[in-house]
Amino acid sequence: MIRFDGRVAIVTGAGGGLGRSYAIELAKRGATVVVNDFGGTLAGEGGSSEAAERVAREIEAAGGRALANGASVSDPDGVARLVAETMAAFGRIDILINNAGILRDKTFAKMSLEDVRAVLDVHLLGTFTCTKAVWPIMQERGYGRIVMTSSGSGLFGNFGQSNYAAAKLGVVGLVNTLELEGAKYDIRVNAIAPSAATRMTEALMPPEMLAKLRPEYVMPGVIYLVSEDAPTGVVLAAAAGVFAIARIAQTAGVALDTATLDAEAVAANWTRIADESRLLDFDSVGRQTMHFYDRATLQTP
């Protein structure tokens, strides 16, 4: 059985929905949980620690240990206090689940730069800020489990969510790099790309679909991703109890003669360039660059 006895976990955006389900399950499995939630509107306005306090009380009533925090992940000073309070109370941080999020959905033509900044500040910069704050603690202890929250919107696109999609794919880039940098410290970094019935999605789907997309049906995947035996560098897509790995892959490509290389040569070879019969998955940009170098040097077809 996966247990978290003695572990301390911070879960952002844990006042409801997915974050609440993560926090409650971690506590059931022995973790001490810091329940963070800014408590603002769906658009990120306002703020109250009430939601975080409610979930913390729920955990304590069930016999677990919890601490409530109302900081916004977009506020570096608030995040610093969150981490300082956690260390003062419990002396360690083993797990971070970056779950906090807001929405400012509009078509690209109608979206303001403020709508872009607000969403990036929470989803992308907020994830950076929280992760940066716990990273040295995990390095020093030689242990850490971090989950970022990506989205199918970032992986595949979604109408009216250019700001959100850009932030969510940015998170995948962060995972790919921190997987490499955290390896020698046993800091394992993964992402969840969930589809679930939360206040962010309840107005977008019919009731019968929402009933199948309960947060509790995503939660087991996240619990595994922060366990001692977790993988690292994975984007786990999850919904309705269905789990799959999402990857960024590249076609094998075509080595063109640089002596006659021009746009017309690319156009003439486009079918071969786009051939997906053999897709390649690289674990770093260095490996990708070496693939290009080897193909160019050997002039293989």
CB distance 143 to 89 below 8 Å: no
Two tokens, residue 101: 């999020």
Distance in angstroms (rounded) separating the CA atoms of residues 76 and 73: 7
Distance in angstroms (rounded) separating the CA atoms of residues 192 and 97: 10
Beta bridge partners of 193: 237
CB distance 82 to 134 below 8 Å: no
Residue 91 vs residues 83, 124, 141, 194: alpha-carbon distances, Å: 10, 27, 11, 31
Residues in the chain: 301
Which position among 22, 143, 164, 217 bears the catalytic label? Answer: 164
Identity at 137, one-letter amino acid code: I
CB-based contacts of 266: which residues, under 8 Å, 6+ apart? 256, 273
Distance in angstroms (rounded) separating the CA atoms of residues 30 and 94: 13
Q: Is 103 exposed, middle or buried (0-12, 13-18, 19+ CB in 10 A)?
A: buried
Catalytic (active site) residue 164 = yes
Question: Which residue numbers are catalytic?
Answer: 164
